[in-house]
Amino acid sequence: QVHLVESGGGLVQAGGSLRLSCAASGRTINTYTMGWFRQAPGKDRDIVAAISWNGGNTYYADSVKGRFTISRDNAKNTMYLHMNSLKPEDTAVYYCAVGGRRWYFSVVSTEYDYWGQGTQVTVSS
């Protein structure tokens, strides 16, 4: 069992920055893909970014390319999302997740087995 806790969300003005963290416990996650998803009110939960087990492969949604950076520190069992040039449309609850199969890279939410409780990011205009 993996327990994930997100932190770092909050209220920021458009153009500002935030760094989200996702701390994992219960099991070492250094052989699993990790990802960030977000869900805005009335919308589906969508992939934001994903990172392979060793950080060698990353994926970004088109809407965040060039503004967000995903990273991980396997020694700390932690993943990060650096968010720059934030826009009001980035407002959502952000969730971190751990993939269900070792070594396997996926950006599909159904391929992720463990989820955090979410952290709210609100960007004001």
Q: What six digits make up the tokens of 40? A: 């805005």
Averaged pLDDT score across all residues of the chain: 97
Short-list 93, 95, 79, 87, CA closest to 29: 79
What pLDDT sits at residue 10? 97
Mind listing the pLDDT tens digit for each residue in 49-58?
999 999 999 9
Grade residue 29 by pLDDT with cuts at 50, 70 and 90: very high
Strand 119-124 versus strand 10-13 pairing type = parallel
- CA–CA distance, 8 with 10 (Å, rounded to integer): 7
Mean pLDDT of 10-28: 96
- CA–CA distance, 42 with 53 (Å, rounded to integer): 32
At residue 27, does pLDDT exceed 90?
no
The helix/strand/coil state of 52 is coil
Grade residue 66 by pLDDT with cuts at 50, 70 and 90: very high
Short-list 1, 4, 3, CA closest to 95: 4
